Each structure stands twice: as structure tokens, then as C-alpha cells.
Structure 1
Amino acid sequence: MGNLRTSAQISQVSDGDVTLGVVNRKDLPETPVNFRVTHVFVFNSDGAVLLQYIAKGQRSEGRWGSSVAGYVLAGEKYAEAARRKMGAELGMHAVIPRLILKTSMPDLGATKFITLFEAHGEGPFTLDREQVDRVRFVQPDILRAEVDTYPDRFTATFRHLWAAYFAQQG
């Protein structure tokens, strides 16, 4: 089997997030089509959120991002993708995340539809070192200040979701 990161089939979706067809993930930069991703914020018992530092060679390498993030594969539901990525990136196989919100943003010349889930975990985590260089827990108030002061240290999608998360929390 080929490398999942380059050979993965993902759904091409309409402006209303309805499946139109299937495309190779690797073709997204050259063939702008709307697509789906899922993210998870993992919180510990102290209320701190887990961030991942994206490994070299990955899109957004060298930036901090959501605890878990990934494409939704063709035929997969958002929640299934969230669970798959939690297992793959952090070794959290038995945790069922809770849906927090759904949003969208421009990306790769198209619209990226994003679901954000929440989960709880303390670690230790089993990291997929090809995707995740390291992780750290950060208290939300400290993280808000970091994102405001140093936005380029974080992925655009994380910044979008972090703002949406706090807007929803009211």
C-alpha cells in the first residue's frame, strides 16, 4: 500500500459540504476543490489544552497546531476521522471525542470545512513522529496571549478554531 499521506482519497465537496466526488489528497494544491478536515482539542484535568508541534516535512511544519488534525477520508464521517487521527497521532485509541463546532475557511484556493471535537487526556501520549515533533499542555489564558502576540507560531487553522472556540464559549 502507498503512503496514506500522499495516496489518501478524500471527498470533494460542494459549498454546502455535500460530497461531489473523490480526489487524491496530494492533488489539492494543484487542483483546488472544497474538502473536509477534523481537529480535536485535548484538555487535561487542569483545563490546559494540548498543542502539537508539527514535524518537519509536513504541511505547516514548525508551527503549533491543534492537539489532533487531519483530512477526512472519502466515505468517512468527521467523528470517525477524529477518532482515527487521535489514535494515529497521539495513541488515544479508546477515547470518544465530543463535537464542539463546525466551521469553514479558505485554504488551498478552495473552502476547507472543519469540525472541532473535544476530548480529555492526561498522557503520556504515543506520538507519530512523522507528523508530531512534540506536544505540550498550555492553560487557555496563556495560550490566548501567545496566539495574540506571536500568531505566526501557530497554524492558520488553529488560530481560526481557537477564535471560534472562544466565541462559542461566550
Structure 2
Amino acid sequence: MIKIGVMEELLEIVDKDGRIISIAPRSLIHGNPSMLHKVVHVLVFNSKGELLLQKRASHKDVAPGKWDTSVGGHIKPGEDILTAAKREMLEELGVVPENLRFLYTYIHSNEYESELVYTYWTVHEGPFDFNKNEVEEVAFWSIENIQKSLFFDFFSDNFKQEFLRYLSIYAFIPFSFAYSLHELNGSPYLSGDPNFLKNFYR
């Protein structure tokens, strides 16, 4: 019988379509890539089209000290995906997003863990009151600088996969980040439905 600490985080183990198989403590899931679990990411851009990255704290068990996706975290058991995205933005960056748009989902797997990732997109200029217990610093990076730095040991493996997926799907879409989110709401490429393009990106 598994003994779970009082404050141990519980996560849903799911199949590739997000259907729940069971629930287990984080300490059991991390370190076992056979246990697929759900996480949410948010790509936060500014009006210049620069992408906000966070530098993970040195004590993190995954990718310590590496630059990572703007926002990322586990989805709690029974939690709605969009609710999780908003919660993580508040917890990590100290801001409440006015508008989040769903982009895609994918599976990220390595020798340590396997994640079913749901990625959202938004525009926010800051300032950010980021969680200093989890994040060392945040900074906006141009897409060009990220591309030039991919071959250096700056980024988490998860972010590299995220960034390349984003570019492969959305780099061809001709829209300006100076547009307001209200003007972008009608775009079929920025659907709020997590099932949008489900067969396209898998």
C-alpha cells in the first residue's frame, strides 16, 4: 500500500486521449515515464511578438536553472483545463489573463516522465509578479533569438519541443501581435476548444 504524505500532490494518470486511468502521488509519477499525466502550458507574447520565458529555480526536480515555457503546471484531479491555465498564470506570473486561446495538445516524453500537454496562447505586456520560489527570472525573447539559441544548453527539453511545435503549426499564419485579442477571437486558428485540430497535430 502506498503511503501518501499529507501535502503530497495527486495527479491523474491518463491515456493519450486524456481519459482517466487512475490517480497517483506526484512522487510516484515523476520518475516513471509509463505514467502519462496532464499539464497545461501558456505561451505569453507581448505586442512585439516576443515570447516570455521563465528561468526555472535551481532546486526544481525537472530542468533546474533552464529557461522554460512562459507558464506550465500540472492539472489537478477533476480540474478544467482552462481553469488550470488561469490558475497557473496567477501562481507563476502573478497576473490574471484577460483572454486565453487554445492552440494544441501533444505528448512530451523522456526518460523521467510523460506528459499530455495542453497549450494556450495569450498576449500580456507585464509587469509580472512572478513566484520567486519557483522562478529565478522572466524575460521576453524574440523568436529569432530563441531559434539561434536552441543548440545551446539554455532551454528545457520540454520547451524545445513546445517551441518547435508552435513554429511548425503557426509560423505561417500572417497576423500581427499588435492586434487586440478581441480582433483575434474570431480566428479559426485560435479556437478556445481543446479538441480543435485534434487530428491535425497528432
Normalised by the size of structure 2, how large is the TM-score? 0.76
Q: Deviations over 1:68-97 (max 9, x none)?
A: 011111111221111110000001124331
Give the alignment's Cα RMSD to 1 decimal.
1.8
Q: What number of residue pairs does the alignment pair up? A: 165
Unaligned runs of 5+ in 1: none
Instruction: Decide whether aligned partners of structure 1 residues 98 and 8 sit closer, same or farther in structure 2, where only a CA change above 3 A counts.
Output: same
Partner of 1:66: 69
Partner of 2:46: 44
CA distance, structure 1, for counterparts of residue 65 and residue 167 of structure 2: 24
Shift >6 Å, 4+ stretches: none
What secondary structure is seen at the aligned counterpart in 2 of 1:125?
coil
Instruction: Decide whether aligned partners of structure 1 residues 134 and 110 sit closer, same or farther in structure 2, where only a CA change above 3 A counts.
Output: closer
Q: Deviations over 1:22-55 (max 9, x none)?
A: 1111221355411011111100111110000001
Instruction: Decide whether aligned partners of structure 1 residues 94 and 142 sit closer, same or farther in structure 2, where only a CA change above 3 A counts.
Output: closer
Matched, 1:55 2:57: yes
CA contact (8 A) 2:16 2:116 kept: no
Partner of 1:25: 26
Partner of 1:161: 162
| Residue number among 74, 79, 99 corresponding to 1:96 in the alignment | 99
CA contact (8 A) 1:51 1:138 kept: yes
Amino acid at match of 1:41: L
CA apart distance, 1:2: 5.4
| Residue number among 138, 143, 146 corresponding to 2:146 in the alignment | 143
Normalised by the size of structure 1, how large is the TM-score? 0.89
CA apart distance, 1:111: 3.3
What secondary structure is seen at the aligned counterpart in 1 of 2:86?
helix
What secondary structure is seen at the aligned counterpart in 2 of 1:153?
coil
* Greater Rg by CA: 2
CA contact (8 A) 1:15 1:111 kept: no
CA apart distance, 1:117: 0.8
Unaligned runs of 5+ in 2: 173-202
Which structure carries more helix by proportion? 1
Which structure carries more strand by proportion? 1
Amino acid at match of 2:158: T
